[in-house]
Structure 1
Amino acid sequence: MESMLGKQQAVINEEVLERQQMIDCRPAMVLEGRVIICQRCGTRHVKTDVRLPSGHYYCPSCSRYGRITSEHQLCWQSSQVQPIDHQVVFPGVLTTFQKAISDRLVRNYQEGRSTLVWSVTGSGKTEMMFETIAAARQKGARVAIVSPRIDVCRELHPRIQQAFPNEACLLLYGDSEEPYRYTHLLVATTHQLLHFYRSFPLIIVDEVDAFPYEGDEQLRYGLQQALTENGALIYLSATPSDRLLKEISGTFQIEKMPLRFHQRPLIVPQLYWLEKWRRLDQRKSWRRSFVKELQRLAEKNFVLVFCPSIPYMERVAAVIAKELPDYSISSVSSKDVQRSEKVTEARQRAFQILFTTMILERGVTFERVSVIVLGANHSIYTKSALVQIAGRVDRKGAFNHGEVLFCYNQMTPAIRKAIAEIKAMNQLAQRWLADDL
C-alpha cells in the first residue's frame, strides 16, 4: 500500500476487491465502440489490434512503464493536506526584475492561473519559482518540478533541496537510484507523470519546449492527468514554440524576462563559414582554419563543440585529438556510459575541449566557456536549439570573453531567426534597464 501513496499503480481487478476501502480506483482501459482508450497514457487503439488471446485488451503505447490491460484498475491512495510554513533559503538575492516576476507568479498561482515564464537562458528562472513553491507548500499542496531532460532534473534537484532544506524532495526518472516514496516535493522527468493521477495542485515544467515533450501527446496527457482539478501550471522556456504559444493563448499569463541575473546581454553568435564541415575528418586542409579557431578559443576558455550526430562527433573528435595532442580533449553523448561523470569533470575543468551532441543543449552551466556549433545549418539545429546552445555562454561568474561560433556552409531560416531572437531579447533588456521597470 505504501507504494500507492500519492502515485497510481496498475492492479489486477481481483486484488482491488481485497482492499477497495483503502484506495481509489478507475478502470485502466475504457471501451468506446470499436476503440479502447488507455487511461494511463490516453492512447486510443482499435480493439481488434490490441486484443489478447484471453479476451482482454492491452496498451502497447505505454508498455515500457509496465504492462497494462483491461483486466487492471489504476489505483492510488490519496494523501492528507498538511499546511506547512516553510521559508525559502535563497542562495543569493533576487534582482528587482526577478522579484517582480516572482511576485506575479505567486499572485497568479493564488488566483488559480497558469503562467508561461518566457525567460532567457541564465536569467535565474529556477530561483524565481521558489516563492511560488513556498506559497503552495504553505497551503499544504504537493508540488512537482519536471523536465523532459534527465540532465536538467539532475541539475534542479540539489537546488530545490538547498532552497527547501526542511522538505523531503525525491528525484525520479527511469533509472533513478532511489525508489519511489511519498514526498511533498518531487523533481522528475515528464515521463514519470504518467504514474500519477490528480496528485499535484502545482506542476512546474522546465524546458517545456524540449524534446521529447514538445509535440508528444502522451506526455502532455500525463501532465494533465497528474494535475489536480483547478491546479495550476507554470511553464518555463527560453524558446517557446509557435505551437505552444498558440495552445496557451488566452489561458496562460505570459511573463517575459529578457535579462540574465548578471544583467549582461546575451552573446550574439558569430557566423563562421566552413565549407567542408561535413568532411572535417577527411583532410587536414579542410579543417586547418577550424583548428586555429578552436585553439584561439581554448586559450581563453573551456570550449564546447556541438556536433549534429554521434558518429560525426566521434570521427571529428578523434582526428582533432590526434592533431592537438597537447590539449585535453574528450567527447560525450547520450550513449556514453560515463556521461554524468564527464559533465562533472568538465565543470571541474578536466578538459580544455569537449565535443558533444544535443544532450548539453540546455540545462547545464559551465563557467568560462565558449561554444562552437559545427554544421549550424544541419536540420537538427532548430531555431530553439541554436538559441539554447548559444545560451551556454556567459551564464555565470565574471565575463571571460566567451564567444559563440556558428560554423556553416549554407544560411538557414533557423540560423537567421536564432540570431534575430537573441538580438531582440537584448534590445528588450536594454529598455528594461533604461526604464528600471
Structure 2
Amino acid sequence: MEALYGRQIVMTKEDQDTLDCTYQSRRGLFIDSKITCQRCGSHFSKEIARLPTQDYYCPYCIQFGRITSQSYLVSQEEKENPPRLVTFTWQEMLTPAQQEVSCNVLSNFQQHKHSLIWAVTGSGKTEMIFAVLRYCLQNGGRAAIASPRIDVCRELYPRINEVFPKENTLLLYGNSNEIYRYNALTICTTHQLFHFYHAFDLLIIDEIDAFPYEGDKRLAFAQKNALKKNGKYVYLSATPPTHLLRSLKETFCIEKLPVRFHKRPLVVPQLIWYENWKYCYQSNWKIKKFIFYLKKLLQDNNVLVFCPSIYYMQKLYTKVGEFFHSSEIECVSAQDKYREEKVQRMRKGEYRILFCTTILERGVTFDHISVIIMGANHNIFSKSVLVQIAGRVDRKGAYHYGQVLFFYNQQTQAIGEACDEIKRMNRLAKESLFV
C-alpha cells in the first residue's frame, strides 16, 4: 500500500483492522499529567482539550483533521529502492562560486552531514541544489523541497520539473489540485510535512527563516518527523537569523556565498524621509512626494510597492489610481484568489506598478524592476524582510538601473541592520576570489 510509505494517516482502531498490509501504529496523543500530540509535538493541559465524550483532542493541528485520544497515527516503513538512472536536462553552467558551494553540499551529503547554504538573494540557490538532488534520486533516495511560502513552491515546481522531467514531481500545498501519490521527488509547503513520517533521505528547506516557519515549534517538529533516521537536511537562506546560526554551529556545515551569479553587487537601499507616509493616500498634497519618486523609477523599470498591511495597500492603490491608467496598476495580497495570475501578468510586463504585501518579499523574480517600501520603519518589516525585498531588484539579466527606496519617518534598528548587512555582503563579494 504505497499511500502509507513515509506517510502518517490518522485512523481509528477499527480503520486499522481493514488494512491488508504490515504497518506501524502510534497513539495520536500521549496522555500523562499533560497531553502531547504525536503529530505536531504540542503540549497542553487536559482542561482545554476535552470533548463531550470525555476524550481529548489536539487543538493545535486541527486544520489537518481532528486527532483524538482514540486516534492512531498509521504509517508504513518504506521499501528500499535500488539505484537508477535519473534524467537531468539542465545545460547551463554554474559560476565558480556556485560550483564550489554545490560540490561542498554534495560532499556533505555523501559524508552524512547536514548543510546550510547561506547565499545572498539572486545568487542562484536553486541551481546549487541540483547536484545533491540528482545524487539522492540516482541512489534510490527520496527527496523533498519544502518552503513556508506557497508562492515559492509554485515558482520552484516548473523549474524542478524542467530539470528532472521524468520524475513526475508532486506539488503539495493547502489548496493544491494534486492528490497525494507515492513518488521520489516532492515540492511542498512546510505545513504539508505534518503528513509525512520517516519519508525523506534528503529534505531541503528553502527560506528557512521565513514566516510562518521561523519560530514555529510545531513546524520544526513536523520537519524532524518527516526525515528518515539517517536522512539529511539542506537549509537555504539569504538572511539566517543569529539564533539559527548559533543552533546549527555544531551540527551543520555552513556554506556561505556573498556573490550574485552575475557578480553585480546587491542594490543598496536609498533612505527617504517621508513624514506623512501613513496617511499619504488622504490628499493630493500628501501623495505628491510618492508620485514624484514613482514616476522617476518608472522611467527605467516597472515598480513593486510593498505595503505594511492589506488595508493600507488598498487605500494607497486606490489613490494612486487617480494618477495612472487603470490598466497600468494592480494590487495583490495573500487573500487574493487571483494572486498567481496577477504575478504572472506583472512578470510579463502587463502592469507597470504592482502594490503588494510581504507576500512577494521572497522567492519571486521579475525583470526590469525597482522596489519601494512604504513605511520601512513599520514593525512588520524586520531586518530579514527588508533585505529580502531589496533582493528583488537586479536578480537576472542585463543591468537596468533598478533601485530600492525605503520611505520612512522613524529610524529603526531593522533599517540600520538591513542596510549594514547588504553593504557587508557587497564588501565580502568584492573581496571574494570569485569576483
Residue identity in the other structure for 1:74: L
Residue 279 of structure 2 corresponds to residue 275 of structure 1: no
Q: Which residue of 2 aligns with 1:46?
A: 45
Return the alpha-carbon distance in structure 1 between the equivalents of residues 371 and 138 of structure 2: 42
Return the alpha-carbon distance in structure 2 between the equivalents of residues 200 and 296 of structure 1: 49
CA contact (8 A) 2:329 2:354 kept: yes
Q: Which residue of 1 aligns with 2:7?
A: 7
Residue identity in the other structure for 2:334: S
Q: Which residue of 2 aligns with 1:167?
A: 167
Residue identity in the other structure for 2:316: V
Return the alpha-carbon distance in structure 2 between the equivalents of residues 46 and 325 of structure 1: 57
Moved more, 148-157 or 317-326: 317-326
Q: Which residue of 1 aligns with 2:319?
A: 319
Return the alpha-carbon distance in structure 2 between the equivalents of residues 151 and 158 of structure 1: 12
Superposition deviation, residue 230 in structure 1: 2.2
Residue identity in the other structure for 1:288: K
Q: Which residue of 2 aligns with 1:61?
A: 60
Return the alpha-carbon distance in structure 2 between the equivalents of residues 19 and 48 of structure 1: 34
Correspondence list, 1:122-137, <5 A? 122-137=122-137
Residue 230 of structure 2 corresponds to residue 238 of structure 1: no
Q: Which residue of 1 aligns with 2:355?
A: 355
Identity of aligned residues (%): 48
Q: Which residue of 1 aligns with 2:77?
A: 78
Return the alpha-carbon distance in structure 1 between the equivalents of residues 222 and 177 of structure 2: 23
Return the alpha-carbon distance in structure 2 between the equivalents of residues 124 and 267 of structure 1: 16
SS in 1 for 2:322: helix
Q: Which residue of 1 aligns with 2:192?
A: 192
Moved more, 21-30 or 136-145: 21-30
Q: Which residue of 2 aligns with 1:90?
A: 90
Q: Which residue of 2 aligns with 1:207?
A: 207
Superposition deviation, residue 45 in structure 1: 1.8
Return the alpha-carbon distance in structure 1 between the equivalents of residues 169 and 329 of structure 2: 36
Superposition deviation, residue 51 in structure 1: 2.4
SS in 2 for 1:400: coil
Superposition deviation, residue 242 in structure 1: 1.6
Residue identity in the other structure for 1:235: Y
Q: Which residue of 2 aligns with 1:143?
A: 143
Q: Which residue of 1 aligns with 2:303?
A: 303
Superposition deviation, residue 91 in structure 1: 4.9
Return the alpha-carbon distance in structure 2 between the equivalents of residues 347 and 292 of structure 1: 24
CA contact (8 A) 1:327 1:353 kept: no
Residue identity in the other structure for 2:10: A
CA contact (8 A) 1:146 1:206 kept: yes
1:404 to 1:300, Cα distance in 2 relative to 1, 3 A: same
SS in 2 for 1:280: helix
Q: Which residue of 2 aligns with 1:284?
A: 284
Return the alpha-carbon distance in structure 2 between the equivalents of residues 87 and 168 of structure 1: 11
Moved more, 52-61 or 180-189: 52-61
Q: Which residue of 2 aligns with 1:265?
A: 265
CA contact (8 A) 1:303 1:372 kept: yes
Superposition deviation, residue 49 in structure 1: 2.7
TM-score by length of 1: 0.97
Return the alpha-carbon distance in structure 2 between the equivalents of residues 77 and 338 of structure 1: 38
Residue identity in the other structure for 2:338: Q
Query: Which digits, 9 at most, give the CA deviation of each residue in 1:367-409, with x for residues without a partner?
Result: 0000000111111100000000000000011110000001111
CA contact (8 A) 1:321 1:329 kept: yes
CA contact (8 A) 1:321 1:327 kept: no
**Count of residue pairs the alignment pairs up:** 434
Structure 1 residues not aligned, in runs of 5+:
none
Superposition deviation, residue 327 in structure 1: 6.8
CA contact (8 A) 2:193 2:223 kept: yes
Superposition deviation, residue 86 in structure 1: 1.9
Residue identity in the other structure for 2:239: T
Return the alpha-carbon distance in structure 1 between the equivalents of residues 366 and 156 of structure 2: 15
Superposition deviation, residue 30 in structure 1: 1.2
Return the alpha-carbon distance in structure 2 between the equivalents of residues 265 and 142 of structure 1: 37
Return the alpha-carbon distance in structure 2 between the equivalents of residues 131 and 397 of structure 1: 24
Structure 2 residues not aligned, in runs of 5+:
none
Return the alpha-carbon distance in structure 2 between the equivalents of residues 338 and 15 of structure 1: 39
SS in 1 for 2:311: helix
Return the alpha-carbon distance in structure 2 between the equivalents of residues 380 and 436 of structure 1: 35
Superposition deviation, residue 2 in structure 1: 4.7
Q: Which residue of 1 aligns with 2:397?
A: 397
CA contact (8 A) 1:114 1:252 kept: yes
Residue identity in the other structure for 1:60: P
Return the alpha-carbon distance in structure 1 between the equivalents of residues 134 and 160 of structure 2: 11
Return the alpha-carbon distance in structure 2 between the equivalents of residues 159 and 309 of structure 1: 31
Query: Which digits, 9 at most, give the CA deviation of each residue in 1:398-423, with x for residues without a partner?
Result: 11000000111111111111011001
Moved more, 44-53 or 410-419: 44-53
CA contact (8 A) 1:377 1:415 kept: yes
CA contact (8 A) 2:87 2:165 kept: no
Residue identity in the other structure for 1:366: F
Q: Which residue of 1 aligns with 2:383?
A: 383
Q: Which residue of 2 aligns with 1:22?
A: 22
Return the alpha-carbon distance in structure 2 between the equivalents of residues 101 and 69 of structure 1: 45
SS in 2 for 1:177: coil
Residue identity in the other structure for 1:73: Y
SS in 1 for 2:209: coil
SS in 2 for 1:330: strand
Query: Which digits, 9 at most, give the CA deviation of each residue in 1:86-124, with x for residues without a partner?
Result: 253225211111111100000101111111111101111
CA contact (8 A) 1:305 1:354 kept: yes
Superposition deviation, residue 57 in structure 1: 1.6
Residue 324 of structure 2 corresponds to residue 293 of structure 1: no
CA contact (8 A) 1:88 1:130 kept: no
CA contact (8 A) 2:115 2:235 kept: yes
Return the alpha-carbon distance in structure 1 between the equivalents of residues 272 and 35 of structure 2: 53
Query: Which digits, 9 at most, give the CA deviation of each residue in 1:253-288, with x for residues without a partner?
Result: 111111111111110111111111001111211221
Return the alpha-carbon distance in structure 1 between the equivalents of residues 242 and 11 of structure 2: 40
CA contact (8 A) 1:386 1:415 kept: yes
Moved more, 322-331 or 359-368: 322-331
1:91 to 1:146, Cα distance in 2 relative to 1, 3 A: farther
Return the alpha-carbon distance in structure 1 between the equivalents of residues 188 and 434 of structure 2: 36
Return the alpha-carbon distance in structure 2 between the equivalents of residues 436 and 276 of structure 1: 44
